[in-house]
Homo-oligomer: A and B are copies of this chain.
Amino acid sequence: MLTRYFENEGYQVSAVADGQGMRDALQRDAIDIVLLDLILGGGEDGLMLVREVRTSSDMPIIMLSGRDDVVDRIVGLEMGADDYIAKPFHLREVLARLHSVLRRHHAQPPQAIDGEGEDVIRFNGWLLNPRERRLVAPEGTEVALTTGEFDILLVMAKHPGRVFSRDRLMNLTRGRHYEAPDRVIDAQISRLRKKIEAGKHPASLIKSVRGVGYVFTGQASERAS
């Protein structure tokens, strides 16, 4: 029902049956938000899944529950869900809340400090400016990155400490269903490393996690006012 409704509304929906399905979808598709029913098959608990997702990302999550249980609601929100909707609900209401969550989420840091709207990312002295698509080294010189290199660095630097699979990087930096061998990412990472971990800055900012993918391990220093 939800699937049909949201597809009619123009969304692209990945409907899955259980926790494993969710993990797969998160890996495979470029997911913007998760709607999660508390009562799942497969013996997995929806609350646990919320926590699991939260440990590695700030993916927006809306919990749907079979009943309006105060404890469930509170625990769910404490667990990190962004909203909680009890059945029965109106489809229109779900849509409204979804918009609300997405808005809050994307509206993340409008960051109007000093009358400026910078949302640059800083790490270990580096400065990454998504708007201008520029990378500036600690000593102030600009490092030229190609489009692909920049996209990968941007995605990863936004989430330090989070491990990205090659597939996921593929999805996030290119369109949804891009087909190419994963090793393309390896090559890009290699070129990227050569540029940002060059002689002067021997720190390893991108580490590889064997069998999984890559992590950005820079020291993000947000909100430089």
Contacts and interface: CB of A to CB of B under 8 A. Distances in A.
A157 interface: no
A147 interface: yes
| Max chain B Cβ within 10 angstroms of own Cβ: one of A55, A72, A115 | A115
A147 B208 contact: yes
A9 B39 CA distance: 12
A92 B48 CA distance: 14
A146 interface: yes
A180 to B, nearest CB: 12
Contacts of A75: 96-97, 99-100
Interface string A185-225: 00000000000000000000001111110010111111100
Interface in A1-56: 9-10, 43, 45, 47-48, 51, 55
Copies held by the complex: 2
A86 to B, nearest CB: 14
A204 to B, nearest CB: 9
Given A147-B208, A220-B115, A103 B132 contact: no
Contacts of A131: 160-161, 217, 219
A138 interface: no
Contact of A147 (B93, B134, B210): B210
A46 to B, nearest CB: 10
Interface of A: 9-10, 43, 45, 47-48, 51, 55, 69, 71-72, 74-75, 78-80, 92-93, 96-97, 99-100, 103-104, 106, 108, 113-115, 130-134, 146-148, 160-161, 207-212, 215, 217-223
